[in-house]
Amino acid sequence: MNTATRVRKKSTNISLDAALVEEAKALNINLSAALNSALENVVRAQRQARWREENQAAIAAMNRFTEEHAIPGSSDGLRVFK
């Protein structure tokens, strides 16, 4: 039984550096897979940055709390959240 998840794909037109595309083809790089992977990484990084920005106040409050109160079990008595 094939347990691989089937992903819905969407055709799109993009513009890329022609020399880079030719080199990728010469190296047998699957452009769709490579670009999909790169886009996943960019989307993940943007989500993380947005989450940090949206939760900046809570993170700062937690850091203030840990500066004022030792957290049992930490090696130096304080744990700073980033």
Q: What is the pTM (predicted TM-score) of this model? A: 0.66
Q: Is residue 61 one of the residues assigned to a domain? A: no
C-alpha 35 chain-centroid distance: 15
DSSP state of 77: S
Radius of gyration of the chain (CA): 22
Domain of 29, in residue numbers: 18-54
Q: Is residue 36 one of the residues assigned to a domain? A: yes
Q: Is residue 69 one of the residues assigned to a domain? A: no
Q: pLDDT band for 69, please (50, 70, 90 cuts).
A: confident
DSSP state of 69: S
Distance CA 28, CA 21 (A): 10
Which residue bears the tokens 């203030």?
Answer: 64
Q: How many domains does the chain have?
A: 1
7-63 confidence digits (pLDDT tens): 898 999 999 999 999 999 999 999 999 999 999 999 999 999 999 999 999 999 998
Assigned token pair, 24: 């990728």
Q: Is residue 71 one of the residues assigned to a domain? A: no
